[in-house]
Structures are given as C-alpha cells and as structure tokens.
Structure 1
Amino acid sequence: MIFFIYQIVTKPLTSKLIRNEACPVCNTQDSLELTLYMRYIAMLIPLFGMGRRTSVICTNCGNVLKNPDSSIFAKKKYSNKVADAVKDIRQNHKRTLWQLVYPWSIWFILPFLILILLGISAINKKNTEEKAKEYAELIMHPQTGDIYKSTWFENGLSQGVLVKLMRINGDTLYVVKTKQKIQMSFSKDEWNKLSADPAAFEAKEYKIKNFSILKETNFGDLFMYNNDENGKQYPIYLGAILNSKCEMDLGFETIERKK
C-alpha cells in the first residue's frame, strides 16, 4: 500500500495597512492590516497552487475582519473600503509563473501538449518512412562490399554479427560473417565493438537468395538454400538484417555501403 503525505500550506505574500479606516471593534484608526496569502499543496516541495486568500486583522485588538481560511461564500463583515483594498492588493500583486499553476491548469495546457506530441509523432513517422525507403533501396539492389548489422541464429542462440556481401552470382549472394559476436543489442557502442576489417570476417561463405528475389517476403532476412535428396531447395534461416524494415529508430546505420 502506498501512502502520499501532503499538506496544504498558506504562505503570506505581501501585507499593507489600510489607511484612513478604523477597526469596528476598538475604533483604532490605521490599525487594519491586509495580508495576501498563497495556498498550495506540498509534498516536501510545493506542487500545485490552490489560489490566493486574504486576511484583514486589527493590529491593535486582534479583531479578525476577514479570515483567509473562511469560505469564499462567507458573508462579508467589513466596509466597502476594506473590500476595495482587498480587490486592489489581489490585482496589483505580481505573481510568479509557479503561482499561476493550479491543478486545473492542465486543461489549458493539455491541448498544446497533445498538438506537440502529435507533431513529434508525425515527424518521427515521416523520418521512419524515409529511412525504410532508404533501406529498401539498399536491400533490393545489393552491391558487393555491403556490410549489414545482423542477427545470426546458431546453436539455438540469436547473436549480433556483421555480415559482409562478398560477391553476387545471378540470384545468389555470397556472404561472410564476423568471427566475433555480441549479445543482441540496440546500442551503438555495443555494435562498435565489431570490427569491419577484412581480417575480422570468417573465410566460410554462405549462399543466400538475392533480396530482390524475396522482395517483401522475409524482407531483409538471411536464408541459406540447400537441396534435399529430390533436388528441391529448402531454406535454412540464418538471421536478419537489423532494422531492415525500419520498425525502430535505432539512432545508427545498420546497412553500410561505401560511397
């Protein structure tokens, strides 16, 4: 069970004496002190404002003409001059930005937040679509020397490797993978641990179907095709080019081609 401990704080902001006005109890002139308060909810730190309140107290006899904790619908027991002074102090006291934030302020801010989020979402969607087109162009028209950040499925495990396209023969791509592997990651720093130097790749080549043959079926997936005893080809799944469908914004390139 979670408990939230909070308190309602009434903090004085400014005070002034109401000139040329006497206390109705002790009849002392210029003894009525008007104070403007800020009320807010605090949980160790101030959170939301709950509006401003005012009090009017006689500094001579302690008579309370206006209690800051009284209801806003409470009957006024003071003169029009005191009422004007209360109105004046509320209007002329300059509030900070924080003092303008109330729990219900979110309803004024919410439409702008929604518009901002929709704008960010639209921009991200457009960037994702453009990146997907870029990846599609690279995959559908592979070139010798292309290097892919890919998953590699082996011995029941899926790990990260660099896959290099060595040559193209008809509808067959000949690729090699790096000797070193990493745990599957979406971190650029982790992928930077894999070297793209020629010596970092194994000598063993894998024959896979040209991506343009597969088209959008298994788009960016690596399938090795072997022949069974009847001469019919059957696919063996090797892995997939990371983010080949641009489903995630990884923040780094996963298909590298020398310019």
Structure 2
Amino acid sequence: MKPIDIIGFLHNARSVVQVEITQVKGSSPRDVGALMFVSNDGIAGTIGGGQLEYMALDEARKLLKNNATSARMDVPLGPEIGQCCGGRVEIALTLMGAHARAAAVTRAEADATALPHVYVLGAGHVGRALADQFQYMPVACALVDSREEELSMSGADVAKHLTPLPESLVRDAPKGSAFIVLTHDHALDFMLATEALARGDAAYVGMIGSATKRAKFTQFAKTQSGMTPADLVCPIGAQGSGDKRPEVIAVAVVAEVMAVLTRAATETALIV
C-alpha cells in the first residue's frame, strides 16, 4: 500500500489502532518499525502478512471492541502459528489519538514525497502495461506521450502527461529517477535516452529494443557529448522469459527497475 493510501485511511477511519513491530529476534517477515493501521472495517499497511498479521489484526479489533488503549504481543514465528521464519517478534498496539494520527499522516506525507520517480516515456501497449504494474509499486509513476488517444487508453492510477516535449520532463525530473523509453519513434527514443543519460544522476535508463537497436544507439552516442551509453539498459527486461506479450514484458521490466531502485535506496540509507 502506498503512503497516499495510508493518508486517506487515517483521514477517513473513525477509530484506529496502530500496530508496530518493536523488536525482532532472528528471522521475521518485516523489520522493526513496520506499521499497520487497523479500524473496525479496514486495514492499511502491513507487518508481513500470514498468521502473524492475522493474529495482530484480531488483537487490534479486540482492543477496539473493548475500548482499551494499548496491548502488547510477543509472538514466536514457528510451527505453533503455522509460520517457519524461526524468529520472534514483539508488537505494540496503540489506540491512536488525534496527535498520533496527525503524526502518522505527516510521516506518510514525507514517505510519499520521498518516493522514487519512474517515467514511462511512451503510452503504447507496453507503456500502458508498465503503468498498470507500477501503479501498485512504491514509486511515483508518470506515463508520458504526445498522443492523446494512446494516453487516454490507460486506466492506471498514475500521473499522465500529454506533451509534445517529453524531453522537458526528463530534464526536470528529480535526481535518482528511472526512465523507461518506449515511444512510437526510434529517433525520439534515441533523443530521450540521450537526455536521460546526459543527466548523470538517473537510477535507471532503459530503452525498449533489440541488440541491434542498442548497437545503433552506441554508434549514435559517439556523436554526442556528456553521455555514457554503457549505462543504458537495452533490451529492457532482458532476464525475462522471452515472451513478447506487453503484460509479460512489463512484469520483467518492473522487476528490473524495482531491483535497481531498491538497491539505490539501501545504499543511500547506509550512507546516511
């Protein structure tokens, strides 16, 4: 669930219990600090799913039913609860007052602002399939095209930009963004890939195509300055099944991009 969904949940639910993992020993599905919010008829966030989450959900609903303010759980993640992580977690459950709810909304807003940006440059079949997948990922995805009819065919819950100058969006994108280039025109693909690579701070630059297209781009790159064609991923999703259906290509590419973005976030966190 994205931060924006948590914000909506916290604004709309009447009574909410915050469920937080406070200690982990050994293996567990989520780390310390993982949060889930529970109301009488809904949940937002996750502490890892499975039997552990079911037990915490049940405990939170009991807390709401009994008008209690807090509870604690100490759960071994073993055969006795049908999980095999082998660790142990402690969980704090707290009925949220106005101050706690406001603080949680502020945190979620900060998380939403910090989401990495993914620009899908081209709203054809594969571009729309990518938007369909990225709408569920922890990213801020934008689908970009100059063709209104193609852009209008996407029902994904992502930002949509109808523009004759997609290169301007590439130039203005935040540092660490990912760019996936798959327009209807190879010359435009080359221009947008060049713009993205020339930034020097993109987390990922990928262009749809074959090894032949990459070779042509490498030749083209020799005429350009300020870019490193070696940083270009082309073909995209190359570790996939080889299936060329848009939806299957999209799965492989989303996995590829998310792996890069997750690695970049981890490296940044270690530096900080």
TM-score range, shorter-chain basis? under 0.3
- TM-score, normalised on structure 1? 0.21
More helix by share: 2
- TM-score, normalised on structure 2? 0.21
More strand by share: 1
